[in-house]
Amino acid sequence: MDSANLTQLLNNDQSALTQDQHKDIEAVYQRLKEIARTQRFKVKGTGINTTALVNEAWLKSQKQAKTFNDRNHFFAYSALAMRHILLNEAKKNQLITYVEETDQLHQPVFKESSYLLDLEKQLQRLKAFDEKLEQVFTYKFFGDMEFADIAEVMQVSERTVFRNWKKARAMLAVAMQ
């Protein structure tokens, strides 16, 4: 399916779609599941499963009445949605842990929640330094987007995206030590 048709499907009411269009939407949903599965491997122990992460991101994209310019714009938006969903889950996990026994501080959910909250704090600092670095990191890390797709969304060259990715990773690695 080409990007223009996909964009129309994502922007329109999906209750009146043909069977072929439903298959195209299903393909997009499966791609979101792949991205969410990757997130689950990167950030284990958050307490949210792959399907829940995808469904939350999908619902967020549908209820915002947001129009998408193209396929890459949709996946960039989904990356940001997944980042916020995982962050909210981490905040919730940490609140629950503070209320419960202190012997639970070493459980994976608490450790990963702390990691995500630290990462979010550093991403906010990175955004204050250079917003483009934070965007590239979000699209690549949380959305598993290709450099060419990120370049198209940000309207810069692929080489610039690659340089920004390397710079963002290096800065975050130093900040998170």
Q: Six-digit token pair at 160?
A: 């610039």
pTM for this prediction: 0.65
The two structure tokens encoding residue 177: 């030590």
Distance, CA of 79 to CA of 23 (rounded, Å): 22
Length in residues, the chain? 177
Tokens representing 122?
């550093």
The predicted-structure confidence for 146-166, as pLDDT tens digits, reads as follows 999 999 999 999 999 999 999
Residue 87 Cα to chain centre, angstroms: 10
Q: What is the CA radius of gyration of the chain?
A: 17
**pLDDT score recorded for residue 160:** 96
pLDDT-based confidence at 40, cuts 50/70/90? low
